[in-house]
Structure 1
Amino acid sequence: MRIGIIRVVTTDDAAYLDAHGRIIRAAYGVDTASRCIPDQPNGVHDDATFARAAAKVADLAALMEREDGVDALLVSCAADPGLAEARQRVRVPVVGAGSAAARRALELGRRVGVLDLTRRTPESVTSVLGEHRVAALVPEGVTRTHDLRGRAGVEASIRAADDLVAMGARTIMLACTGMSTIGLAAELAGRVGVPVVDAVRAGAEAAMAAARG
């Protein structure tokens, strides 16, 4: 099985591009192919960048279906930009990391705290969680995915996760795939005392299930 990974952060760094692929290969033993959309070096972090990404994601999905031999595609961004558009363009299943992670969070508990990249939790997440989203926080000093890289971003995320638990969360959902890139779920494991849902892993599991039919 091969999962195609659509990254919404433009990069020419091969290792960074493949970061989510490495996570998925190590966890599940499937093959991956990763590509990124063009001209968005800061990824998706507001309404404007979300809108710009949508058509690019759909175009890239069509290209990857045609050239990469994928069995399913994962839009590796918790906002799920271009998900509906991509599904209209290709025949293979297309999964959004955000909605997949939200569904997984609900399987683990009904009081979900969301660790966000932006002040407004993505609709891909809120539409699934509904009233079960009991709290949402952005790590201090974080406004873009690149802000998560480095120890300061990790420490800010840990503090925010602790705060979510204090606010009543019994499951934490990481609503930014950049948090997967920095290995935040592993940092939080055993520390916060509640399950932590990693969006890349949740998305990969959903994509594999969809590919199997």
Structure 2
Amino acid sequence: MRVGIIRALTTTDRRLLNSHGRLLRETFGFDVTTRCIQDQPSGVHDADSLQRAVPKVVELALELAPDVDALVISCAADPGLPEARALLDIPVIGAGSAAAAAAFAFGGRVGVLGLKHSVPGPISDALGERMLLIDGPESVETPDGFLMPTGIFDALAAAHMLVDAGADVILEATTGLTSIGMADVLRRRLGIPVIDPVTAAGSMLVSAVASRDLQAV
């Protein structure tokens, strides 16, 4: 399957740019093409940056669509998701809504680990009362903050606080944690399920395509 990945941040670092695509390729065997939006080096982290990202994501979706079988918007805030879906006839999956849907499969209370004082709308809206929130790391206000050593250690500390507060499953509410491979680290340290939003989007995409194929039979 040819999958286009839209990164809702700006970077010239090829390793960072392709980190989400590499995860989906290794996990699901997708043939991946990754593009990033322009002029947002700190990604999506508040209402203003979300609003600015929407038309940029839609523009990239339209550019990528003719050459792929499906698209993943690799941002937990799902910028441009409804707009892209309205314009395209291929599956378009948002990492945030996919992660929230995955959380329901585990049951119990969901500990949301994200940015400081911020939970993306697609996650908070979907989880409702099941969401157990302790503010994200004090040192991390934008997704690129997780690339710093303080962000990594503070994310670990916040995850432990969520477990101590009664979380049955951890949901990573920013794809900045995907970029540093935090899910595997947390699973080993905490011993509970940890949902990576990009992997969740890949799983949702596999289900969406399988459902469409069955309907076509």
Q: TM-score, normalised by structure 1?
A: 0.95
Output the amino acid matched with 2:30.
V
Other-structure match for 2:38: 38
For 1:3, what is the secondary structure of its paired residue? strand
Report deviation, 1:133.
0.4
Output the amino acid matched with 1:25.
R
Give the alignment partner of residue 175 of structure 1, picking from 157, 173, 182: 173
Other-structure match for 1:203: 201
Report deviation, 1:92.
0.6
Show CA shifts across 1:14-44 (max 9, x none).
Answer: 2221110011111111111100111111110
The answer to whether the 8 A contact 2:116-2:138 is kept is: no
Report deviation, 1:139.
1.4
For 2:188, what is the secondary structure of its paired residue? coil
Give the alignment partner of residue 131 of structure 1, picking from 116, 129, 132: 129
- 2:79 maps to 1:103: no
- 2:84 maps to 1:86: yes
For 1:173, what is the secondary structure of its paired residue? strand
Q: 1:137/1:87 Cα in 2 relative to 1: closer, same or farther (>3 Å)?
A: same
State the Cα RMSD in Å.
1.2
Other-structure match for 1:155: 153
The answer to whether the 8 A contact 1:135-1:167 is kept is: no
Residues paired across the two proteins, number: 211
Q: TM-score, normalised by structure 2?
A: 0.93
Report deviation, 1:110.
2.5
Q: 1:134, 1:15 → 2: CA distance?
A: 33
Report deviation, 1:90.
1.1
Report deviation, 1:118.
4.1
Q: 2:16, 2:114 → 1: CA distance?
A: 21
Q: 1:6, 1:79 → 2: CA distance?
A: 13
Q: 2:41, 2:87 → 1: CA distance?
A: 25
For 1:137, what is the secondary structure of its paired residue? coil
Structure 1 vs Structure 2: percent identity of aligned residues?
45
Q: 1:204, 1:151 → 2: CA distance?
A: 28
Q: 1:36, 1:167 → 2: CA distance?
A: 36
Other-structure match for 2:61: 61
Report deviation, 1:209.
1.9
47-56 vs 9-18, which moves further: 9-18
The answer to whether the 8 A contact 2:134-2:158 is kept is: no
Report deviation, 1:128.
1.1
The answer to whether the 8 A contact 1:116-1:138 is kept is: yes
